[in-house]
């Protein structure tokens, strides 16, 4: 039989009030009194009923649900005969929950106030505030102030001015740091450049670049455009964007389409991007700071696509184009030389992966080419100085005497004045003007020329004599002066050593350079009265024609030769000849027609040394704009290059599992077939090799250079002592 | 379709729509290289404040602030949407800062306790209807006392030594307070069955009068067991909020501090 426990009739059960804070202490025992505690939790126990008097008799009033009228009835004095025992009231379930909430709130707020509100526990506070460990690259940073201006201001306020503009290279000088939110935008100048003390200052303007300015205090920005997208000058970026406009977006992911509905990329007014836009910190030691999602990479791009195998534009740089710093006819060598000789034409015999694996290096000239080409390089000398053939008889008939002149000069009548000689002569404005006037005429055949041309020819001859005299008497200084005037640029130290001194840096300067010894010997034989003739000519006195037939062969210094045709030639010592290298570099740096002509001469494959047979001796626009050092680029073939484009690299090492010619197929012309995207997408597609943009593209066109660690220690030294002692890990 | 099903359908559709819009905004901001942490952070803080207001609403029953049932529905579905906001705020990773880790832990406990409470409030009432008599939680001590008094009255009629020993050894302890709560929560009948088996084992030693006493004891034990079953389940319904609400307030305070710190260290 089931028992019935609960009645809800008013006369059989109490009215429950579970929302009251206190309940009777007898509740647990199952005997709560009907009065219950008051609001303050005090027991109000009295009696089970309050008797009432009727007809001089007291009557019990206990209700039915508490047992009804008692048998004893009230006492004679009118009090109830059943007193309620007192209790210790207890909190209700609801009140206990409320107390727990209050306790939790008080505990949380109290702990927060203690940790964040007072001057204590600074280390714990910083540890609590830090949103996570820094990446491994930044793990040496031990203070928030290194990257957060708010912390720097806080520390400065606490113990001194640590952010004051010291004005040193790399230090952030905040010109308008807001003292509070809503203040003026920050303007900071950060020393950039790669020199010991940094280069030109990089201006960091904008309210969103406070942190970026601090980033640049350690990471050197190399130019003013460092904070622009891709580090490109806005005009250059616009030009690239304009080119991209001709391409179509294909298979654009839904997410990117949705992104187009959102806000623009957060750029400052001048287009600059904060470092933190892409590089997220406080993501743990193993956080890859440089990682970018493919979708994020396309946030700014006008041409968007689903992936490398899904819509990526076709490659635009053809293999074997003129952009390469060297040229080598692979197909020709394989068919015409190696096959004929029965030798194996193997890529690996010349190309090996660099130590980084990024680039395919090229073996040395000695191991690859010397067997066939070393003699070729040494075979032909370069005419440095010469006595050209002069039609002195016609000049004499016109009343212009050239004095003594060797009969054999200019025996090769077809040989023009060598570019180097012409360049040196042109440093004299009068001779340069005469050379220009002679344009179209031949110095060795002046029959029928007008008087002005003949007069110009005479000036050229005497200018040439003056040059020889100046060089033979003035020596190194005269040549250096003439070369610098001719090239329109100052020679560097290594160029002076190679071109003027013709010695190694460890050889004494007292050694007479080979060109000077050879020149003096030749001048003694060819033009023995040069000094007196010049003196008479300059004094306006007549110098009779002296046709010289009899002279001995001058003795040439090693590396030089004196020809029967009155030429002084330089003989290249072999591959990498330092004289020819420096001459090419100096002429590339130089300005003016002389330098151009000299570089054009060296760029001829048949020129002495045959440098241009392999090396592309053509300065690009960047070299011209910056007067930069072209030495690395001219001779890059020996070092191997990795960059295919301003923002594109290719890591060869992981691809060497395939045959080289599976990507680099020989073309019908001298060079390779262009590499198409299909070549790569055979592997780089979903569920196979990765398709990350960062596989081939780099965001920064110029890397930021990290300053020496002393910057951090200096910064630390500037911090208040209290902050240094109490700061915990970042 | 009944009212409950229709209500759920409408609420789930609203939840899905809001979540889709949220994801749209998030993806749009993320792929625009925008910092979404402040957007999602403010959304999250506002959501937590709104969720906490449900507790405040219950303390203000006299104000015309819509029905509590509506507030509960809003609390449930906003809570689910808040989980998505939180996941977006932390970029689907476990935060590794102390304060952020503590916040994430608190949020997880509050959410899990809330989901647990939702599950309990959906399952326990059904269980209570299937067993014993529905009684008020606050009155259960009184019902237990009545059962105990009946048992004591019954004990005065015991003449058998074995039945007396069973009463002294096991029933006094069993009727002193609610017992075997964990077993009840696990829907186990084993405690009651052990007691009843113990009584059944005494049956051969009892005469007819004592068997009648024993049968009444069986009836009392069954009633007490059902009462304990209700007490266990109603306690769970009462006490899960002891975890959910205090931690929700702590979470709210720490979230406010987190917001201040985030803005303070923004630059």
Report d(CA A209, CA A274) in Å as an integer.
6
Sign, CA dihedral A315-A318-A323-A325, equals positive
A686, A307 Cβ separation under 8 angstroms: yes
What integer pLDDT is reported at residue A624 of this predicted model?
47
> Nearest residue on chain B to A5, judged by CA atoms?
B143
Tell me the nearest-neighbour CA distance from B90 into chain A, angstroms. Answer: 11
Angle between helices A93-112 and B241-264 (to 10 degrees): 20
CB A163 within 8 A of CB A152: yes
Eight-state DSSP code of residue A649: E
Domain-located, residue A352: no
Whether residue A58 lies inside any domain: the answer is no
Bridge partners of A187? Answer: A205
A130 with B97: Cβ contact below 8 A: yes
Q: What gap in Å lies between CA A90 and CA A7, rounded to an integer?
A: 25
Q: Which residues of A touch B97 (CB under 8 A)?
A: 128-132, 282
CB A331 within 8 A of CB A670: yes
Residue A450 to residue A3: CA distance in whole angstroms: 145
- Give the largest Cα separation in chain B, rounded: 90
DSSP state of A527: -
| Average pLDDT score over residue span B178-204 | 94
How far A481 CA lies from chain B's nearest CA (Å)?
56
Residue B186 CA from chain centroid, whole number: 14
In eight-state DSSP terms, residue B115 is: H
Give me the pLDDT at residue A145, please. Answer: 83
Instruction: Report pLDDT digits (tens) over A358-384.
Output: 667 778 888 888 888 888 888 888 888
Mutate to test the interface with B, among A13, A18, A255, A262 (most CBs of B within 10 A): A262
- E strand or H helix at B228: helix B208-239
Query: Which of B32, B35, B93 minimises the CB distance to A299?
Result: B32
Chain A residues within 8 A of B31 when measuring between CB atoms: 255-256, 258-259, 262, 295-296, 298-299
Residue A99 has pLDDT above 90, yes or no: yes
> Is A444 domain-assigned?
yes
First and final CA of chain A: distance in angstroms? Answer: 72
Neighbours of A291 (CB within 10 A): 13
Q: State residue A724's pLDDT score.
A: 45
- Residues A454, A399 contacting (CB under 8 angstroms): no
DSSP A59: E
Q: When comparing pLDDT for A10 and A79, which is higher? A: A79
Q: What's the CA gap between A179 and A236, in Å, rounded?
A: 37
Which residue in chain A has the smallest CA separation from B258? A129
At residue A177, the pLDDT reads 38
> Containing domain of residue A423, as a range?
382-571
- In this prediction, residue A158 has a pLDDT band, given cuts at 50, 70 and 90, of low
Residue A219's DSSP bridge partners are A706
CB B72 within 8 A of CB B54: yes
Task: Round to whole Å and give the CA distance between B158 and B164.
Answer: 6
> Can you say whether residue A30 is alpha, beta or left, with left for phi > 0 and alpha for psi between -120 and 50 degrees?
left
pLDDT at A712 over 80: no
C-beta neighbour count of A320 within 10 angstroms? 19
B20 contacts in chain A (CB < 8 Å) = none
Coil, strand or helix at A247: coil
In angstroms, the CA A701 to CA A687 distance is 30
- Domain count of the fold of chain A: 1
If you average pLDDT over residues A499-524, what whole number do you get?
Answer: 85
Contact A132, B100 (CB under 8 A): yes
Taking alpha carbons only, the member of A349, A328, A325, A329 closest to residue A644 is A325
CB burial readout B12-29, b (16+ within 10 A) else e: eeebeebeeebeebbbbb
The dihedrals phi and psi of B31, each to the nearest 5 degrees, come to: -75, -5
Handedness of CA A479, A481, A482, A488 (dihedral sign): positive
Q: Which of A31, A117, A125, A129 to mutate to test the interface with B (most CBs of B within 10 A)?
A: A129
For the ranges A220-224, A246-250, B112-116, the lowest mean pLDDT is seen at A220-224
Q: How far apart are the first and last CA of chain B?
A: 55
How confident is the prediction for chain A on average, in pLDDT? 79
B159 pLDDT band, cuts 50/70/90, is confident
CA A375 to chain centre: 42
Task: Inspect the interface and report whether the beta carbons of B27 and A259 lie closer than 8 Å.
Answer: yes
- Counting every residue written for chain A, the total comes to 730
Name the residue among B32, B97, B249 with its Cβ closest to that of A132: B97
Query: Which chain A residues are closer than 8 Å to B219 by Cβ?
Result: 1, 3
β-pairing verdict for A52-54 and A57-59? antiparallel
Rounded-to-10 torsion of CA B36, B41, B43, B47: 150
Chain B residues inside the 8 Å CB shell of A6: 133-136, 139, 143
Q: At what angle do helices A514-526 and A451-487 cross, to 10 degrees?
A: 160
What is the rounded distance in angstroms from the CA atom of residue A369 to the CA atom of residue A364? 8
> Of residues A453 and A621, which shows the higher confidence score?
A453
Rounded CA-CA distance B152/A215 in Å is: 83
- Alpha-carbon distance of B109 to A554, in angstroms, equals 100
Question: What pLDDT score does B85 carry?
Answer: 97
Q: Which residue does chain A place closest to B234, by CA atoms?
A: A93
Please name the member of B32, B98, B254 whose beta carbon is closest to the beta carbon of A127: B98
pLDDT one-digit tens code per residue, A537-574? 888 888 888 877 777 888 888 889 988 888 899 999 89
B24 pLDDT above the threshold of 50: yes
Average pLDDT over residues A46-60: 91
What residue ranges do the domains of chain B occupy? 3-131+241-264, 137-238
Q: Which residues of A touch B246 (CB under 8 A)?
A: 97, 100-101, 103-105
Q: Which has the higher per-residue pLDDT, A621 or B198?
A: B198
Q: Report yes or no: A30 and B151 within 8 Å, Cβ to Cβ.
A: no
Please compute, for residue B231, the number of CA atoms within 13 A of its CA located in the half-sphere on the CB side. Answer: 21
Please give the pLDDT value at position A443. 83
Alpha helices for A576-650 (secondary structure H): 578-589, 593-602, 621-626, 631-634
Tens of pLDDT, residue by residue over A455-492, are: 888 899 999 999 999 999 999 899 999 988 888 888 88
* Beta strand A57-59 pairing with A187-191: unpaired
In a domain, A72, yes or no: no
User: Across residues A452-456, what is the average pLDDT?
Assistant: 89
**Rounded to 5 degrees, what are φ and ψ at A152?**
-65, -45
Q: Do B267 and A149 touch (CB under 8 A)?
A: yes
Give the model confidence (pLDDT) of B44-84 as tens digits.
999 999 999 998 888 887 888 888 889 999 999 999 999 99
Q: In angstroms, rounded to a whole number, what is the distance separating the alpha carbons of residues A398 and A392?
A: 10
DSSP state of B187: T
Which of A312-321, A329-338, A461-470, B105-114 is modeled with the greatest confidence? B105-114
Per-residue pLDDT at A178: 39
CA distance B203 to chain A (A): 19
Q: If you ran DSSP here, which 8-state letter would residue A427 be given? A: T
d(CA A588, CA A596): 8
Distance CA A377, CA B118 (A): 89
- Percent of chain A at pLDDT > 70 equals 81
What is the 8-class DSSP label of residue A348? G
Residue B133 or residue A340, greater confidence: B133
Buried b (16+ CB within 10 A) or exposed e, B71-88: beebbbbbbbbbbbbbeb
What are the C-alpha distances in Å from B25 to residues A258, A366, B22, B34?
8, 63, 5, 11
Please tell me the distance from the alpha carbon of residue A192 to that of residue B166, in angstroms, as a whole number. 93
Residue A268 belongs to some domain of the structure: no
High-pLDDT (> 90) share of chain B, %: 75
């Amino acid at each position: 039989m089931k028992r019935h426990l609960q009645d809800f009739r008013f006369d059989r059960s109490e009215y429950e009030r579970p929302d009251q804070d206190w309940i009777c202490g007898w509740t647990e025992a199952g005997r709560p009194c009907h009065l219950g505690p008051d609001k303050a939790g005090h027991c109000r126990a009295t009696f089970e009923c309050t008797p009432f008097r009727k007809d001089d008799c007291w009557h019990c009033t206990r209700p039915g649900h508490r047992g009804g009228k008692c048998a004893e009835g009230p006492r004679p004095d009118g009090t109830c005969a059943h007193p309620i025992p007192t209790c210790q009231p207890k909190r209700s379930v609801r009140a206990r929950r409320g107390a727990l909430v209050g306790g939790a709130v008080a505990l949380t707020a109290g702990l927060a106030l203690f940790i964040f509100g007072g001057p204590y526990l600074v280390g714990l506070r910083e540890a609590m505030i830090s949103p996570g460990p820094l990446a491994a690259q930044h793990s040496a940073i031990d203070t928030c102030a290194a990257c957060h201006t708010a912390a720097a201001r806080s520390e400065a306020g606490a113990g001194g001015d640590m952010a004051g503009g010291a004005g040193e290279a790399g230090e952030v000088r905040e010109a308008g740091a807001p003292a509070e939110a809503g203040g003026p935008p920050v303007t900071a100048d950060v020393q950039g450049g790669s020199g010991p003390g940094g280069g030109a200052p990089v201006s960091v303007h904008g309210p969103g670049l406070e942190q970026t300015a601090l980033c640049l205090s350690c990471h050197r920005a190399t130019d003013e455009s460092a904070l622009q997208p891709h580090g490109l000058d806005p005009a250059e970026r616009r030009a690239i964007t304009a080119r991209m406009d001709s391409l179509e977006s294909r298979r654009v992911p839904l997410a990117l389409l949705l992104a187009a509905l959102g806000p623009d990329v957060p750029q400052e007014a001048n287009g600059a991007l904060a470092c933190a836009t892409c590089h997220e910190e406080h993501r743990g030691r193993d956080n890859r700071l440089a990682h970018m999602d493919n979708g994020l990479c396309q946030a700014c791009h006008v041409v968007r696509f689903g992936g490398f195998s899904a819509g990526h534009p076709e490659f635009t740089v053809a293999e074997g184009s003129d952009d390469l710093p060297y040229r080598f006819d692979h197909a020709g060598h394989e068919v015409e030389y190696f096959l004929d000789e029965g030798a194996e034409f193997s890529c690996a015999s010349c190309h090996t992966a660099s130590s980084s694996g990024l680039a395919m290096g090229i073996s040395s000239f000695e191991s690859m080419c010397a067997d066939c080409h070393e003699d070729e390089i040494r075979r032909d000398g370069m005419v440095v100085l010469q006595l050209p053939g002069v039609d002195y008889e016609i000049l004499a008939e016109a009343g212009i005497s050239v004095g003594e002149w060797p009969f054999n000069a200019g025996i090769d009548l077809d040989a023009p004045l060598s570019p180097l000689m012409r360049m040196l002569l042109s440093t004299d404005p009068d001779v340069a003007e005469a050379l220009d006037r002679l344009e179209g005429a031949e110095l060795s055949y002046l029959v029928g020329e007008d008087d002005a041309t003949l007069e110009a020819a005479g000036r050229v001859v005497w200018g040439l004599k003056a040059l020889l005299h100046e060089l033979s008497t003035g020596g190194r200084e005269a040549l250096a002066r003439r070369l610098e005037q001719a090239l329109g640029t100052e020679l560097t130290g290594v160029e002076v050593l190679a071109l003027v001194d013709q010695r190694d840096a460890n050889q004494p300067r007292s050694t007479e350079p080979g060109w000077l010894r050879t020149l003096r010997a030749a001048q003694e034989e060819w033009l023995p009265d040069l000094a007196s003739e010049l003196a008479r000519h300059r004094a306006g006195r007549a110098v009779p024609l002296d046709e010289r037939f009899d002279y001995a062969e001058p003795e040439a210094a090693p590396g030089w030769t004196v020809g029967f045709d009155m030429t002084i030639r330089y003989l290249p010592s072999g591959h990498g000849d330092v004289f020819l290298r420096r001459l090419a570099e100096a002429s590339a740096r130089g300005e003016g027609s002389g330098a151009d002509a000299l570089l054009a001469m060296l760029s001829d494959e048949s020129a002495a040394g045959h440098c241009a047979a392999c090396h592309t001796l053509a300065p690009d626009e960047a070299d011209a704009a910056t007067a930069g050092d072209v030495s690395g680029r001219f001779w890059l073939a020996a070092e191997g290059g990795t960059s295919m484009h301003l923002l594109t690299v290719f890591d060869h090492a992981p691809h060497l599992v395939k045959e080289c010619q599976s990507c680099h197929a020989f073309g019908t012309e001298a060079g390779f077939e262009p590499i198409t995207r299909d070549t790569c997408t055979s592997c780089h597609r979903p569920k196979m090799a990765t398709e990350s943009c960062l596989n081939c593209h780099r965001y920064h066109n110029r890397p930021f250079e990290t300053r020496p660690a002393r910057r951090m220690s200096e910064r630390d030294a500037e911090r208040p002592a209290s902050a240094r002692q109490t700061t915990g890990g970042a | 379709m009944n009212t409950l099903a229709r209500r759920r359908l409408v609420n789930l559709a609203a939840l899905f729509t809001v979540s889709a819009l949220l994801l749209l905004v998030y993806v749009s901001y993320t792929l625009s290289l925008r910092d979404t942490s402040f957007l999602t952070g403010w959304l999250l803080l506002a959501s937590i404040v709104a969720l906490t207001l449900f507790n405040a609403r219950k303390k203000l029953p006299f104000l015309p602030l819509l029905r509590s049932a509506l507030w509960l529905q809003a609390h449930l579905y906003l809570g689910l949407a808040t989980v998505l906001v939180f996941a977006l705020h932390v970029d689907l990773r476990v935060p590794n800062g102390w304060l952020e880790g503590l916040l994430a832990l608190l949020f997880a406990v509050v959410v899990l306790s809330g989901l647990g409470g939702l599950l309990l409030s959906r399952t326990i009432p059904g269980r209570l209807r299937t067993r014993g008599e529905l009684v008020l939680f606050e009155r259960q001590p009184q019902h237990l006392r009545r059962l105990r008094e009946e048992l004591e009255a019954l004990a005065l009629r015991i003449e058998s030594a074995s039945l007396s020993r069973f009463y002294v050894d096991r029933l006094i302890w069993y009727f002193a307070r609610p017992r075997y709560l964990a077993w009840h929560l696990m829907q186990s009948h084993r405690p009651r069955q052990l007691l009843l088996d113990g009584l059944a084992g005494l049956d051969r030693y009892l005469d007819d009068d004592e068997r009648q006493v024993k049968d009444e004891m069986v009836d009392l034990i069954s009633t007490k067991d059902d009462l304990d079953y209700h007490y266990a389940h109603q306690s769970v319904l009462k006490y899960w909020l002891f975890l959910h609400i205090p931690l929700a307030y702590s979470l709210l305070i720490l979230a406010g501090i987190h917001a201040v710190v985030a803005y303070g260290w923004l630059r």
